Amino acid sequence: MNTKISALTVSVTWLGAMAILAAVIAGTGRFGESLTAFLPRSGSTVQRALVQGLHTGEAAHILLLAIRGGTGSERAHVSRVLARELGRDTGEFSLVANGGQGMAQGLAAFVFAHRYQLAPRTSWTVRALRHDLRRDLAILESPAGLSAGRMLADPTGAFMAAARPWERVRGPRVRHGVWVSRHGRSALLLLKTRASGFAVGPQRRALERIRTGFAHAARGTALALTIGGTGAITVAANDKVADSAKVLTIIDLVLVTGILGFVYRSVPPLAASLVPLVTGALCATAITGLVFGRLAITTLGFGTMLIGVAMDYPTYVLLHVRPGEHVSRAARRVGRALGLAMAAMVMGFSTMMGSHLAGLVQLGVFAAIGLVAAAAAARYILPFMMPAWQPTADLGAWDARAARFSAGLRRMRAGVVVVALAAGGMLWARGPRVWDNHLSALSPASHALMRKTGRLSHAFGVPGLSSLVVVVAADREQALSRSAALQPVLAGLRHAGALGGYQMAAQYLPSRAVQRRRLQALPRSSVLRRRLRAAAAGLPFRRRAFRAFITAVARARHAPLLVPADVPAAVRARVDDLLMRVHGRGVAFVQVTDVRKARRVAQAIAASKVAGVHYVVVKRAVGRLLARYRAALLRHALIAGALMAVVIAIGLRSLREAARLVLPMAAAIVTACALLVATGPGLTLLNLVALLLIAGLCMGYALFLGDNGLVPERRGLAPWVCAAATITGFGVLASAPVAMLRSVGVTVSAGALLALIFTAAWSARRTPPVAGGPHG
């Protein structure tokens, strides 16, 4: 009775502690976006700017909507109602456009008022003016003439020139007063969310808002809505992972519970099996979050996977409970082995803490804390939750089977060597081609949705973020003027068909030097009046029509220079996206669209000799960041492996035993790699992390399979049970519809199987299953 009460106390206390940890995580935990984890801590401004640009740039905020079905006027009507309704929600959307509006609010007035600073013109000769006036006359005599009443207030067309960058050069067509797709079968809307497209929660809210708005607007019609854009991809990917994870978790639970239930034949051990993993994960999340302030999602995912080895700890403890024995005694018996395995892994992962990649440091800390906490829970908490538990099943027959199987495998050692060598040789021959460098390999997003977004973006003429020119300078003003220096180069490239177009802040807001030059070029009123008279000679203009023009020029000559803060709020985001401060330096982005000759563009930009200019192909640059992370992880994994071997050799006090343990592990990992490379597109970062998990699992198998004297009265069946649970669990994941989950599932289940077979082949001795005293 007493033991029951204390068991209850321990359980309740543990639950309370976990609840506190969960509250700590919920209260203080801030989870960062994953890409920043790939950044070197001392990364270059270009890299930082790139990541910042990817996450805050215009492209990440845009949602594209298409309304299909029904008739054209029905679609137009719904488009208008929806735009009006969503436009009211200024908290969620910074822009709602369906083609019904002209320029953004306040922008036209701003551009008109400052047209002589914004327009790229400095020639005010009689000749230039006469050229303008002839053109004006042609317009006045055209069908547009009647609308051009105010034209002579701006006879040089400065407003048009200044407004050009602000207008979408290739917007969609308009039918029934709203944007439509090329074939006119769907109405299009463009939305900009305030939240980044990578923020799941706000994006889900925005999508929800759009869908209810549409349902409301389209009530009683047969119209359908399609939503594309970064936000839609983010949410869909998240839902897909969550959905498949839900179903698979249930299948997993049933199967793993079946295996463990067959072994234990009672409920408490099943529940207690989760104690170490939960303890480890919660402790690690809470502490890492507190230490770093911000936990990358990647760290959380990878880290939890690494400490998945803790699922084996309770099995090792509980399977070693002998009839009539307290669980804590069994825990003490296996404690040394578990402690050694844990210490080896922790030592291994601690090398990551010295990495220069923020993500790896976090991962190392997370895994180390998680493993220590999990092992401590298995050794000191779990046994006291169910101190008097007794094994009820007679597994003697299974022990014998496992022993026979191990003995059988032992005879095939030569085969293991051959397989491992062949696998190693194959990896060697492939060289760097073993890596899968496609970014999508790491993304859970569906390709269909990405394609859809691509099509929608094309219909809108929204620039896909494919390449960028990043201009780094001491401050924003300098970055602005340097990027402006690139303009002739880019214009030349566009003219030559090497690229489709470009966007830079300097088009919207010229640098102060340029503004000053333009204003200084403006003639004095008397001079302007004289030149204008000369230019208009023989043309039918009334002289008084130019009065407003002369006043405007006179006023502009003394106008203050514009700064980013002067741009109307509705469109300031576009300037802010292209001109930023990153780590105290000024960074200007030039978005380059539709690059057809990448090499030529790169060469021309390099040849421009503008200081601080970097041409970045986004996909390649992000790929390079990932490759660096991967290389660092690989390097640390190898160091970790070596360190693990050393720790094990010290723990076992025998080099031979350590080799017996580590070599099969290495062979299993190499073979698993070769298998993955041979059957799939190649290895990714995820595979690498999964392989680290296998190293941990394998260590457990080896310690409990071999006669290394670490575990008195070792039970050979334990690793087989552990492996069966792991292989089943991750095997289910291998059937997931999300490539990312599938890859992890295949890697771990195949790796665990190989690890078990290889270690069994190498360490099994013909010893009775549950017998044998301590060896020296």
**Least separation in angstroms between CB 183 and another protein:** 12
| Residue number, 151 or 343, with CB nearest to another protein | 151
Beta-bridge partners for 462: none
By CB under 8 A, residue 497 contacts another protein: no
- Within 212-271, which residues bind another protein (CB under 8 A)? none
Decide if residue 157 touches another protein (CB under 8 A).
Answer: no
Shortest distance (Å) from residue 123 CB to another protein: 23
Dihedral through CA 729, CA 732, CA 736, CA 740, nearest 10?
Answer: 40
CA 31 to the chain's CA centroid: 12
Structure tokens given for 440: 């999508």
Nearer to another protein, 167 or 239 (CB): 167
Nearest to 693 by CA among 291, 251, 301, 373: 301
Considering the rule CB under 8 A, would residue 586 count as an interface residue with another protein? no
Stretch that binds another protein, among 139-147, 188-196, 314-322, 600-608 (CB under 8 A): 139-147
Rounded-to-integer distance, Cα 204 and Cα 497, Å: 40
Binding residue for another protein, selected from 149, 396, 497, 768, defined by CB under 8 A: 149
Strand, helix or coil at 398?
Answer: helix
Is residue 541 left, alpha or beta, with left meaning phi > 0 and alpha meaning psi from -120 to 50?
Answer: beta
Torsion region of 279: left, alpha or beta (phi above 0 gives left; psi -120 to 50 gives alpha): alpha
CA distances to 131, 163, 188, 544, 547 from 98, rounded to whole Å, are: 37, 20, 6, 40, 38
Does position 19 interact with another protein (CB under 8 A)? The reply is no
Does 353 help bind another protein (rule: CB under 8 A)? Answer: no
Pick the stretch among 61-69, 164-172, 269-277, 623-631 that binds another protein (CB under 8 A).
164-172
Q: How many residues bind another protein (CB under 8 A)?
A: 31
Beta carbon nearer to another protein, 101 or 735: 101
**173 near another protein, rule: CB under 8 A:** yes
Stretch that binds another protein, among 46-54, 172-180, 272-280, 477-485 (CB under 8 A): 172-180
Q: How far apart are CA 293 and CA 291, in angstroms?
A: 6
Residues in 54-113 at the binding interface with another protein, rule: CB under 8 A: 73, 99, 102
Give the interface segment with another protein, choosing from 125-133, 171-179, 253-261, 323-331 (CB under 8 A). 171-179
Query: What is the x/- site pattern for another protein, positions 518-557, by CB under 8 A?
Result: ----------------------xxx--x------------
Supply angle C-alpha 755, 744, 36, rounded to 5.
125
Near another protein by CB under 8 A: residue from 39, 78, 83, 151: 151
Q: For another protein, which residue of 27, 91, 143, 323 counts as binding (CB under 8 A)?
A: 143
Residue selected from 41, 90, 123, 177 as contacting another protein according to rule CB under 8 A: 177
Q: What is the spatial distance between Cα 252 and Cα 745, in angstroms, rounded to a whole number?
A: 12
Instruction: List alpha helices for 265-326, DSSP H.
Output: 267-272, 275-292, 297-306, 312-319
Minimum distance of another protein from residue 356's CB (angstroms): 49
| Site for another protein contains 491 (CB under 8 A) | no
Q: Is 131 in the site for another protein (CB under 8 A)?
A: no
CA distance 71 to 52: 42
State the CB neighbour count (10 A cutoff) for residue 239. 13
**Position among 81, 140, 556, 659 found at the interface with another protein (CB under 8 A):** 140
DSSP label at residue 435:
B
Out of 8, 144, 290, 393, the residue judged to bind another protein by CB under 8 A: 144
Q: How far is CA 285 from CA 307, 318, 376, 736, 739, in A?
A: 12, 27, 16, 26, 26
**Among all chains, which residue has been given the structure tokens 């022990």?**
399
Instruction: Work out how close the CB of 453 gets to another protein at its nearest, in angstroms, rounded to a whole number.
Output: 24
Q: Out of 68, 84, 131, 175, name the contact with another protein by CB under 8 A.
A: 175
Q: Which residues bind another protein (CB under 8 A)?
A: 73, 99, 102, 138, 140-152, 160, 167, 169, 171, 173-177, 184, 540-542, 545
